[in-house]
Amino acid sequence: MKKILVLCTGNSCRSQLAEGYLRHFAQGKAEIYSAGIETHGVNPKAVQVMKEDGIDISGHTSNLVDEYSHIDFDYVITVCDNARESCPYFPTKAQKFHHNFPDPAKAVGTSEEVLNEFRAVRDLVKAYMKDFIEEHVNDERYVSK
């Protein structure tokens, strides 16, 4: 079974969205983890916008990348430039992927405008993670026999 790690700065928004969608689209065909180079706790707005899309991430935790140094990942996906540049080194044969998603936690404006930014980032993350699972987990060329 493939092991996938999603990395972000604080493991509170983008990586949590990604973990939720990767789990959803993989349907048990991959082990999914998310972590940060810091921990900021899971952002309640991330939980809210995922719930709007039928996915419950309220039980997720914010974890440090060091907690997973013993796991031999197949794929590591960084979802922000800061994590890509600041991630501590740990030995892995994992293929690395990167996509810099906007940080919805930095959104300003009314509460509705901020939620709309979370929704927009959620939709970007959803599309990327759906494609990732289809290509790297569901594609027969990549499935372990």
Which residue among 37, 80, 129, 133 is the active-site one? 80
Q: Is 8 a catalytic residue?
A: yes
Long-range contacts of 120-126 (CB under 8 A, 24+ apart): 121/13, 121/14, 121/17, 122/17, 122/46, 122/49, 122/50, 122/53, 125/14, 125/17, 125/18, 125/21, 125/79, 125/101, 126/17, 126/21, 126/53
Which residue among 4, 5, 7, 8 is the active-site one? 8
Q: Is 13 a catalytic residue?
A: no
Q: Read out DSSP for 94-124?
A: -EEEE-----GGG--SSHHHHHHHHHHHHHH
Which residue among 87, 105, 125, 137 is the active-site one? 87
In the chain, how long is the greatest CA-to-CA distance? 51
Ramachandran category for residue 8: left, alpha or beta (phi over 0 → left; psi -120 to 50 → alpha): beta
The residues carrying an active-site annotation are 8, 80, 87
